[in-house]
Amino acid sequence: MTVAASEPKTGGGGGLKREMGLMSAINVIISVMIGSGIFVSPTAALRYSGSVGFCLVVWTVCGGISLLGALCFAELGTVVPRSGAEYAYLIEAFKKSHSFWGPLPSFICAWVYVMILRPAEIAVIILTFAEYSILPFRHLLGLEYMAADDLHLLIKLIGILGLGIITYINLSSVKLYVTINNVFGFCKVFACLVVIFGGVYQLAIGNTENLAGGFEGTNTSPGHIALAFYNGLWAYDGWSSVTTITEEIKKPEVNIPRSIMIAVPIITGLYVFMNLAYMTVLSMGEMIASEAVGIDFGDRALGSFSFLIPLGVALATFGCALSIQFGVTRLCYVASQEGQMLEPLSYIHVRRATPAPAVAMQGILALAFILVGNIETLIEFASFLIWFFYGAAVVALLALRRTQPDVHRPYKVPLIVPYITLAVSIFLSIVPVISDPSPKYLFAVAFILSGVLVYTPFVYYKVRPRWINKLTFLIQVLFEVVPSSSKLD
């Protein structure tokens, strides 16, 4: 799908700039991992674990497992110093193994992430931001008297505005993104600490009744235990986010492993102690039945400061959507460089050094999902593939260990770690299908097959419609972009 523009591609835009240090890399991980989930619905792990004690064990172990997976990506990020995370590792490990089948896994990865999963996630997250951003002002705005359809329209309009803002930020400059993301990262950690210290206060005044049961009632059914860990691990998703933007990290061979080793344990601590805090004022039944655990906790424990919880959710979701869009545009950028997506998606703005066409495309796709609605179904049928691609990336790590044993590895994870991560990824890919054998998984397979139908003519056989030349030239003029340095030869 790569096509030369009909005019000379001059002006060399260079490539992505390394403008993110260690703290910024840490904040990227925090921004993607901490969304609305820990504030709104951390209940499934509790329901399936059966006791407060085992639930806290589940959250702790899930954090440890996430760290193991992240360490595999830390090695991959130093061996394959390209943005794109799973995509980059799959293309590096298997591209040369077979002319047709070798590049196919990486294309399917990009196809799922770029066309459905990430823009749909952004749409859902930004609508959550819209809903919780107006919640502290519900009395002032008279929202309790507003008709449901009108309220839904208001939330959608605010969501579209929020999407426009994050797209503008990511179009403008990496430095602007880093500055805003650092601020939001600090604010969302502060919101988490508000919950934790609220729980500490409740413990100090003797509210331990809900914790007294300990491990009483723990589910010993293997199926329930599996589902408890399944739901806990989904809450930790996002630990690979820093490897999506490797080419913009300063000293990636040092800062990627360090950022992972710092950020994931921090988030594990926040998640475990936030759940403990919730349990100080909410019983198991109340937590499981709650539609927004953080809001209910705030109403009971924070008094006049309860507005901090919806504010924290709004900050967390905005920062999460901002970082997810930032990351997926880099996947577009790398896939385009490999000829697996339209060539202009790898073009860089001549002054801002941002992949403007890729950012704009992701903004448009997310907007389409907001307007269409029923996004959750799309995410459900595609999201179980995330751990499938994590597992594929671990296979790529093992393959690179065998095919490129002499490559310098600034960080090398112990061999047992990728095997554990691979086992977990297989488990998380199979459990949702077994526990809920829904037709939606057939849609996932159908979408993958549609990717193969696109891949075969346009990527493998390199069919290029004539109008692509005109589109490429139009994008260059409209977005003021030129090919990155690797495309100038």
Average pLDDT of the residues in 149-165: 92
Token pair of 149 as six digits? 């359809």
Q: How confident is the model at residue 474 (pLDDT cuts 50, 70, 90)?
A: very high
DSSP string computed for 147-212: -HHHHHHHHHHHHHHHHHHHHHHHHH-HHHHHHHHHHHHHHHHHHHHHHHHHHHHHHHTT--GGGT
356-368 pLDDT per residue, tens: 999 999 999 999 9
Domains of the chain: which residue ranges? 22-487
* DSSP label of 20: B
Distance in angstroms (rounded) separating the CA atoms of residues 210 and 98 = 58
CATH superfamily placement of domain 22-487: Amino acid/polyamine transporter I (1.20.1740.10)
Q: How confident is the model at residue 3 (pLDDT cuts 50, 70, 90)?
A: very low
Mutual angle of helices 104-112 and 86-94, in 10-degree steps? 170
DSSP string computed for 396-458: HHHHHHHH-TTS--SS---THHHHHHHHHHHHHHHHHHHH---THHHHHHHHHHHHHHHHIII
Give me the percent of the chain exceeding a pLDDT of 70: 94
* DSSP label of 117: I
Helix (H) or strand (E) holding 394: helix 385-403
**pLDDT confidence of residue 366:** 95
Where is pLDDT greater, at 142 or 146?
146
DSSP string computed for 312-356: HHHHHHHHHHHHHHHHHHHHHHHHHHTTSS-GGGGEEETTT-S-H
Checking if the pLDDT of 145 tops 90, the result is no
Checking if the pLDDT of 115 tops 50, the result is yes
Which residue is it, tokens 């307007």? 371
Where is pLDDT greater, at 155 or 484?
155
Nearest to 102 by CA among 450, 408, 399, 488: 399
Nearest to 262 by CA among 232, 235, 242, 233: 242
Checking if the pLDDT of 431 tops 90, the result is no
Average pLDDT of the residues in 434-455: 84
**pLDDT confidence of residue 196:** 95
Checking if the pLDDT of 326 tops 50, the result is yes
458-470 pLDDT per residue, tens: 999 999 888 998 9
Burial of 401 per CB tally in 10 Å (0-12, 13-18, 19+): middle
**pLDDT confidence of residue 2:** 44
Of the ranges 119-128, 283-292, 358-367, which is most confident?
Answer: 358-367
pTM for this entry: 0.90
**pLDDT confidence of residue 226:** 85
Q: What long-range pairs does 233-237 form, CB within 8 A, spacing at least 24?
A: 233/62, 233/65, 233/66, 233/387, 233/424, 233/428, 234/428, 235/37, 235/38, 235/42, 235/45, 235/62, 235/271, 236/33, 236/62, 236/63, 236/65, 236/66, 236/264, 236/267, 236/268, 236/271, 237/33, 237/386
31-58 pLDDT per residue, tens: 999 987 788 778 888 999 989 999 999 9
74-91 pLDDT per residue, tens: 999 989 989 999 999 999
**pLDDT confidence of residue 200:** 94
Checking if the pLDDT of 303 tops 70, the result is yes
Nearest to 335 by CA among 108, 76, 116, 167: 108
Amino acid at 341: M
Helix (H) or strand (E) holding 29: helix 22-33
